[in-house]
Structures are given as structure tokens and as C-alpha cells.
Amino acid sequence: MMGASASASLHQEDSMDSSTAPTIPRDKDFGKFQFGCEHYKRRCKIRAPCCNLIFPCRHCHNESANSLPDPKERHDLVRQNVKQVVCSICQTEQEVSQLCSNCGVSMGEYFCNICKFFDDDTSKEQFHCADCGICRVGGRDKFFHCQNCGACYSVGLRDKHSCIENSTKNSCPVCCEYLFDSVKAAHVMSCGHTMHMDCFSGMINNNQYRCPICSKSMVDMSTSWQLLDLEISTTEMPVEYKFEVAILCNDCNKGSQAMFHILGHKCGHCGSYNTRRISTPQDPVCEIDSNHDN
């Protein structure tokens, strides 16, 4: 339970007692899209059972609760534990349901009794995934649940992605937000690791093409490797830098030998330049002077 100072730092809203709230029969679509917060358009607020305070949604709760000065009092709301909601039209507090027990308004065009989730904006094509245990957006027919990864992916990735157990039950390697229940779109890379689509695009825009977790290439780099081939062939190294180094390829995980070059070292197996040196320089390979007599 939060202390008095912690409770004061959260924005508590008093709801009207249901016994004194006037009965105002309304059409169920009354007030649609007129209420809610920056996260959702909905016609109700939730009472958080963890701290007994009222918030527009769980994200509003989490933002406030996790900004408390005492780290011990910071916490997230478990959505399934919500028992009470407050109608935004008549302010009646009541048990969770889609229709207000007092005025009859629909508190959310989309409603999930498992997640205690309300949303008037059904253009998101929300659906509840029983295997994930939470609601997703994007349309049920456009996603499938991978039992190995423990997450929902676009149907285009069915049998076309590298499975990593509980891949989304981790934080985004760029922004560190927990991926599994994030409202932001996620992107599954060819290596199987996952990050937010916005974070992925940000890395690409900043010429960062390696997975932050395993260092494998996140996109097809074959064109870039061809350009490097051409540039290296026209950039000869001085004699004192002509030596072999041992390298390990981040893409195929195989080791090989390559001639040292400041522009990159090509994997002898897959041709990738996404490699790293794993040895110290060997003795220089000296050129033979054809005019020198032994």
C-alpha cells in the first residue's frame, strides 16, 4: 500500500457514489470519442486495485506510479485485477462491464472482460489472444500466435522467422520498454530478436545495421558488400599492413582468415563484412623485389 506522501503525488479523482448518481438513460453510443486520454478513447475510468486510485487507463496509472520519488512504491497495474470502473458520462462507479449500469451508455465500443480493456476506436482492429493472455491490435486474421516464441506475429512471418523462446518477453534493446504488452508496433528481425518498429527504423536511418543483441545484420546487406568489394579492390594497403588476421563472422558464426584492410574483412564462408578480428597481426607479408638478386 502506498504511503500518504506517495498517494498525494498521484492524481486521485473522486467518483460519484452510485446511490446518489441520477439515472439518465442514454443511447449506448452517447459521448463516443469525446472522452478518454492520450492512450485511448473510452467512456470510463478504472479504479486501480493496487493503490485504490482512479485513472483514465492503466498506462496513465503506470506513468504516475513509476514516477513516484520512492522507488519502493513504484509499480505497474495488473490489468486483469481491475474490478471497478467509473462511467465518464454519469460518474457511477460499478463493477466492470461494457454497458453502464446507471445510464446505459457503452463505456467502450471494444470491450474485453478478461483484460478489463475498453476502447472506442475500433479501427485498431483489437482482438484478444488467448495464448498471449492479452489484447492485441491489427486484426485477428492478420496475425498468428507462435507457440515457440510465445508471441503474435504477422502472418507473413509464419514459417519465415527464427524462433526464440519468449522473444517478446524482454525489453526493447534500444529504448528498454517491455515489448510484450507495449502499445507500439514491434519488428521481428531475421535473427529472431525483436524491437520496436520505430526503434528499428531509427537505427536504419542512423546507418546502424546490426542487431543490438547478437550483432547479426538486420537487413539484406549484399549490395553494400558488393560496394565494399569494389572499394577494397581499388584501395591497396601499404606493404607494412599486408598481413592476415583471423576473423569471426557475426552473420554465419564461422571463423576464417582475411588480409587486413582498414575498410573491412570479408568472411571466407558467406561473404559478409559484418565480421570482427579475433587475433593480433601476423608477420608482414613482404613483396618480392624482382630486380633484387639473391
Give the pLDDT score at 153: 83
Give the pLDDT score at 24: 67
Beta bridge partners of 261: none
Give the pLDDT score at 10: 46
C-alpha cell of residue 103? 445510464
Give the pLDDT score at 108: 96
For residue 46, the one-letter residue type is I
CA-wise closest residue to 166 among 205, 193, 128:
193
Give the pLDDT score at 160: 78
C-alpha cell of residue 47? 479504479
Distance set, CA 159 to CA 32, 261, 287 (Å):
41, 39, 52
Give the pLDDT score at 282: 53
Q: What is the dihedral of CA 57, 59, 60, 63, to 10 degrees?
A: 160
Residue labelled with grid coordinates 624482382: 290
DSSP state of 236: P
Ramachandran bin of 153, using left for φ above 0, alpha for ψ from -120 to 50, beta for the remaining angles: beta
Give the pLDDT score at 22: 56
Give the pLDDT score at 170: 87
| Cα separation of the two ends of the chain | 89
Distance set, CA 9 to CA 3, 54, 69, 256 (Å):
10, 13, 9, 59
How many whole angstroms separate alpha carbon 22 and alpha carbon 49?
26
On whether the CB atoms of residues 285 and 242 are closer than 8 A, the answer is yes
Give the pLDDT score at 151: 83
Give the pLDDT score at 15: 41
User: Which ranges of the chain does DSSP label H, i.e. alpha helix?
Assistant: 4-9, 58-65, 197-205, 222-233
Mean pLDDT per 10-residue section of the chain, whose length is 294 residues: 42 45 75 94 96 94 93 91 96 96 95 96 94 90 88 83 82 90 81 91 94 94 95 93 92 94 95 91 46 43
Which segments of the chain are extended strands (E)? Answer: 44-48, 53-55, 84-87, 93-95, 110-112, 117-119, 127-129, 134-136, 143-146, 151-154, 186-188, 194-196, 244-249, 255-259, 275-277
Give the pLDDT score at 192: 85
Q: Each residue of 102-140: b (16+ CB within 10 Å) or e?
A: bbbbbbbbbbbeebbbbbbbeeeebbbeeebebbbbeee
